Amino acid sequence: MQNRYRLGLTMLALVALATSSVAAQESKKHKKQVFDRGIEQSLFVPKHQYFAGFGASYTVVESNDYRLLVMEDLRGEGYSLSVSPYMGYTFADNMGAGVRFRYKRTMVDLRGVTISLSEGLSFGLNDAYMITHSYYGTAFFRSYASIGNSKRFGFYNDIQVTLGGGQSKTTLGKGETQTGTYQTFKELEVGIVPGLVAFFNNFAAVDVSISVLGFNVKRVDQVTNQVYKGGMKSTAANFRLNLLSVNLGVSFYIPTLNPF
């Protein structure tokens, strides 16, 4: 009886040893199959730094009997002004968060234009005026990545949530034939904005970014001639390069004196 008992214990020990050996071999085999791209993340922007910057643009256009594609005798003037300050804080290496404010104002005063689509098919537009101003607030989370082991050139990616709105006024004609429309609009947008950054010293850099992915909800309310009311609501999602959203700015990075 004792011999059988000892034999059983011996067999159980052998089975346990064989099972553990197979499991170890499988584990080693699995580790060998792990794919390594060899990407090394280096420190590009250290934690406990404040960063702030701004972007601005100003454009003035004036034309007199100008011709462009199907437009002839284009007479008018206009301008576009945009200011966008921002600030943030790096709470970890290569990661930060911040806020941005953007104001934009656009004016177009079109005294006259003739649109010629083909021979015998043309029409004119005179005394059209439009002015728009909008304001937006943005909260963003930012992650940085250096280009190779460079500490001067790198990428960043912003995940942004933007809320804003504005007003616009459009008039057409003069005197008793003049008509006008007043609009107010509100907008919510969630987007991903990648960019490039280049440091020209330890504390200052230039950056350029462009929107590639976004989800947008917009509502517009309007009143025409102070009588007729209308409204529109739109929802859009896109994955494309938006060339109208290219931003060029200057940033300054300041380390904290007493990091926590």
Q: Is the pLDDT of residue 121 over 80?
A: no
Work out the pLDDT band at 244, boundaries 50, 70, 90.
low
Residue 129 in domain = yes
In a domain, 82, yes or no: yes
Question: Do 139 and 248 share a domain, yes or no?
Answer: yes
Q: What percent of the chain has pLDDT over 90?
A: 36
Question: Is 260 a domain residue?
Answer: no
- Domain residues for 15? 1-34
- pLDDT for residue 237 is more than 50: yes
Looking at the fold, whether 200 and 160 belong to one and the same domain comes out as: yes
- pLDDT at position 31 is 53
Once rounded to an integer, what is the mean pLDDT over residues 95-109?
93
Are 196 and 111 in the same domain? yes
Looking at the domain assignment, is residue 28 inside a domain? Answer: yes
200 touches 185 (CB < 8 A): no
Q: Which residues contact 112 (CB under 8 A, 6 or more apart)?
A: 73, 74, 75, 76, 124, 125, 126, 127
Residue 103 forms part of a structural domain? yes
Q: Which of 165, 184, 167, 162 is nearest to 247 (CA)?
A: 162
Over residues 165-181, the mean pLDDT reads 87
pLDDT for the residue numbered 73: 75
Same-domain pairing of 10 and 122 = no
Same domain, 133 and 55: yes
The predicted structure's pLDDT at residue 15: 47
Q: What is the DSSP string of 92-129?
A: ETTEEEEEEEEEEEEEEEEEEEEEEEETTEEEEEEEEE
For 44-78, what is each residue's pLDDT tens digit? 899 999 999 988 888 888 888 777 666 677 788 89
Which of the four pLDDT bands, split at 50, 70 and 90, describes residue 24? low
- The mean-pLDDT minimum among 92-101, 104-113, 250-259 falls in 250-259
Q: What is the pLDDT of residue 149?
A: 82
pLDDT at residue 8 in the model: 52
Q: Do 20 and 56 sit in the same domain of this protein?
A: no
Asked if residue 205 has pLDDT above 70, the reply is yes
* 14/96 same-domain check: no
Q: What is the mean pLDDT of the chain?
A: 81
- The CATH number of the domain holding residue 198 is 2.40.160
**17, 48: one domain:** no
Query: Per the structure, how many domains does the chain have?
Result: 2
**Are 151 and 169 part of one and the same domain?**
yes
Q: Both 59 and 143 in a single domain?
A: yes
Whether 16 and 109 share a structural domain: no
Lowest mean pLDDT among 21-35, 79-93, 159-173, 190-204: 21-35
